[in-house]
Chain A
Amino acid sequence: MSDLKFTRRGVLKSGAALGAAGVAPSFFVRNAWAQDFTNNPGNGSSVVLGFNVPQTGAYADEGADELRAYQLAVKHINGEGDGGMLNTMTPLSLKGNGVLGKKVEYVTGDTQTKSDAARASAKRMIEKDGAIMITGGSSSGVAVAVQSLCHEAGIIFMAGLTHSNDTTGKDKRKYGFRHFFNAYMSGAALGPVLEARYGKDRNAYHLTADYTWGWTQEESIKNTTEALGWKTTAAVRTPLGAGDFSQYITPVLNSGADVLILNHYGKDMINSLTQAVQFGLRDKQVNGKNFVIVVPLFSRLMAQGAGENIKGILGTTNWNWSLTDAGSQAFVKSFGAEYGFPPSQAAHTCYTQALLYANACETAGTFYPCEVINALEGFKFDGAGNGPTEYRAADHQCFKDVLVVEGNENPSSQFDLLQVVQVVPRAQVEYDPAIFGGELGTCS
């Protein structure tokens, strides 16, 4: 790559400067062979991170929340504000003086929830702004696209909100890391709760967004529910952004199914759920059982859009602000103080990812991606809101407890929309990385 040449020259220059001053830090010497990497901050006083979030389009609100979280993370890493999770995370190498003594700066970009725009934005951050790490995203298509771009460029990508199995499954990359949970875990976590609530003899009808994420979620949920003894009446694909789902909902009415599973996200989920409730599905009786709707992936922002219809509906979520552990409390406290409302799960995962990356650099003692990857792989930590968590080395997926939630029947405030039903322990949602295939590739 031609850019590399410029960087290399820059490194040589800075190396010479260091040599002249005679203050070459030890890690420079130790890893002298390894200092040639994209956007090496050298001995500059700051380091640039790239926050690539949707600022326009359907997920703009989620993107705005992610950006808030990143800005908060930068503050905390730089030692401003109350420190947030810096006070609760263990183990932690960060000292509140930036990363490796360098002040953290950031650039932002708009993914528009489109792969092309997201890649263009990420490339700008890498080529023009000299970002050493890219993070963000609010859909799996974008995450996978940006992740492979970053892998090619030799830049670490810390995925934001992406739930598809593919991100750390068949499309996993050495340079990509995901803290968020995935469809498989949603299924595994939901299974026992569904069994306890609705029994073993059920007929499920799936409505699935007709694209890769929808398919992986449908598959995961199907596997879990069929293992419980449920039957799958039908699995119907719906066009992305259909708006009106009536023609897909009416066949549910006399299909004999007594569970409707909506594998939709964002606006699709808000619309299909609202309309399914209007069609009386929530009050219906089939085979002598109450008809139920399940939304495997929930978020508070979606719950807000669906209003009353969300009440009593089961789903899973990565994190919720009402958690009372020290990490969650610390984060909610500083986020709330800064912005006046609680963070969403997207904000939480993004904040944590930024901290994890910074911490890995500090631990590795260098920004050199291969060393940072080593520090992240297999990293075990606690106090970040999800209990003991591990970045599995085999697929760069975080393993932690998963929350099963339901729409709150009687909210005590405008933010109190989701209620935690059960914290499903990590052991129950773990799987063999081999089941999804894919290969990480190597660090070069």
Chain B
Amino acid sequence: MDAIFLQVLNGLDKGGAYALIALGLTLVFGTLGVVNFAHGALFMLGAFCAVTFQFMMTASKQIKDESITFFDAYKEVPYLEIWFGHVGTVLIDWVVPLSIIMAIPVMLLIGLAMERGLIRYFYKRSHAEQILVTFGLAIVLQEIIKSFFGANPIPTPAPEIVAGSANIGALFGLGDSVVYPYWRLIYLAFSGLVIFAVFAFLQFTTFGMVVRAGMADREMVGLLGINVERRFTIVFGIAAVVAGLAGVMYTPILPPDYNMGMEFLVLSFVVVVVGGMGSLGGAVSAGFLLGILQSFASMNEVKAIIPGIDQIIIYLVAVIILLTRPRGLMGRKGVMED
């Protein structure tokens, strides 16, 4: 029972991450009709916003370790701590949540620049060319990050107060060993919040209405004299922000490195397609579904029955769903079917 409860939590948590990335990807698909292979890179850039912010906050006075003479080794004391004492320590401790403030405008700018500078020339081009150009862009972005930060993962811890685990077993009347990291609970809540915000934005604002109309029938909305293109540019910016925030919040779970986007790229494509092209709800539900199934498949009891199932579960489920439901869970007819 305890084990199952924990695996559900794991699944939701994983699902939250998948859903967040898939959400932005499907937004771009649905509105711009662009296959964005650079979406994983946006996730990675978000994570590196946190890293950059951490570097800035921990700019340090270097106190040379005199015992080492062959090269310069320093014990680093951040200026913030020197100047502000305890307050500085707290600020540094909270660097990941704080970097969200920086990540939103930065990711928005990156998104807008990407769309205006490159993507918009590819609306009318074939999907193959979109793949090539966005893949090329993703490689370039990765290499730039690598040249600044190296290839090694960079630790970006969560604030001390939420670094440990919550005893949620007591909350639900389960055993004492049912603990779950605070940060993962925060991540789950955060992904729920962002997903809700995006849906609310599309559902309850005029802007969102136009975007939805544009997703359904772009030409018609254009004929009505509405500048769909400008709105779609903003949608791309929003998608970039969502991916970036997913990246920022993920850093305490997965120390970021330049290649982390590629690893999520394929998975998020699978999630989007299983959810159904052009469907935001589909992407989110597919994210959670695959997350939970993956967690259960990794249980020793399940693996004892089907060895290696945890390795392939996501792809197996994708195949089954796509064969039983022609357009994934909630896909609309005619979107990216040719």
Contact = CB atoms under 8 A, between A and B. Distances in A.
A340 B7 contact: no
Interface stretch (B70-78, B204-212, B320-328): B70-78
Nearest to A412: B65
Interface residues of B, number: 57
Interface in A323-373: 329, 332-333, 335-337, 339-342
Interface string B299-328: 110010000001100000000000000000
Contacts of A247: 7, 10-11, 14, 294-295, 298-299, 310
B253 interface: yes
B6 interface: yes
Interface stretch (A23-31, A218-226, A268-276, A429-437): A268-276
A174 B310 CA distance: 39
Contact of B179 (A59, A253, A342): A253
Interface stretch (B120-128, B145-153, B281-289): B145-153
A244 B163 CA distance: 17
Contacts of B158: 278
A409 to B, nearest CB: 14
B255 A274 contact: yes
Interface string B59-94: 000000101101111111000000000000000000
Contacts of B177: 253-254
Contact of A58 (B71, B74, B151, B165): B151
A442 interface: no
Interface string A148-180: 000000000000000000000000000000000
A254 B257 contact: no
A81 interface: no
B71 A246 contact: no
Interface in A367-423: 411-416
B13 A246 contact: yes
A336 B72 CA distance: 8
B97 interface: no
B14 A413 contact: no
Contact of A278 (B181, B257, B264): B181
B150 to A, nearest CB: 5
A271 B184 contact: no
Given A239-B311, A247-B7, A337-B70, A305 B255 contact: yes
A305 B260 CA distance: 14
Nearest to B301: A251
B155 A250 contact: no
Interface in A179-238: 210, 234, 236
Interface in B221-263: 252-255, 257, 259-260, 263
Given A278-B183, A305-B155, A337-B71, A250 B3 contact: yes
A304 B152 contact: yes
Contact of B71 (A243, A248, A336): A336
Given A305-B257, A337-B70, A413-B74, 5 more contacts: A236-B303, A279-B179, A305-B153, A306-B155, A340-B71
23 contacts: A61-B150, A61-B152, A244-B253, A246-B184, A246-B295, A250-B7, A251-B299, A253-B177, A253-B178, A271-B255, A278-B164, A279-B181, A283-B164, A304-B155, A305-B152, A305-B154, A305-B255, A308-B155, A308-B157, A337-B71, A412-B65, A413-B74, A413-B75
